Amino acid sequence: MKRDNILVPVDFSEQSLNAIREANELSGDTGKVRLLHVLPPLESISPGVVWGDVSDSTREQHVRDYAKTFLAENKLVGVDFDVEIGPPGHVIADYAIKCDADLIVISSHGYHGVKRMLLGSVAETVIRHAHCAVLVLRRTDAE
């Protein structure tokens, strides 16, 4: 089941590392794996936005800086990384089309019941909207 272009949404958690490792194993080549971090849109009434301390570009730069450290610490060489802004599930599905992914590997929070209803499910949105196959990894620390 080799894949040529795998998209892995990351939140920099241990579960993200598991998803990256799984994608690397499936592809056989880190050059075929692309990582994506999605920042939710800023709310115009947030104090940081109102005072001008926070903007999409500053948030994106912070994420890119952190990603360099994260990738280096975990010896992830040759993996493409990108940042997008918007509703995570939809952005991931749209980005998969944009980068011509043939597989999305995503970890699930594993929430159920009221927590899932209140928090929603990015993985579920991705499954519903993705144009390609989606491999959902259950989090080992699920509640």
CB proximity list for 48: less than 8 A, separation 6 or greater: 42, 54
Which pLDDT tens digit goes with each residue over 120-142?
A: 588 889 999 999 999 999 866 55
Element (H, E) at 128: helix 122-129
Which pLDDT tens digit goes with each residue over 52-101?
A: 677 888 889 999 999 999 999 999 888 899 999 999 999 999 999 999 99
CATH code for the domain defined by 6-138: 3.40.50.620
Domain ranges of the chain: 6-138
Quickly state the pLDDT bin for 30 (edges 50, 70, 90).
Answer: confident
Which pLDDT tens digit goes with each residue over 108-120?
A: 865 555 555 444 5
Using CA atoms, how far residue 27 sits from 54, 57, 79, 82, 120, in Å, is 37, 32, 12, 19, 30
- Reported pTM: 0.84
Element (H, E) at 90: helix 88-98
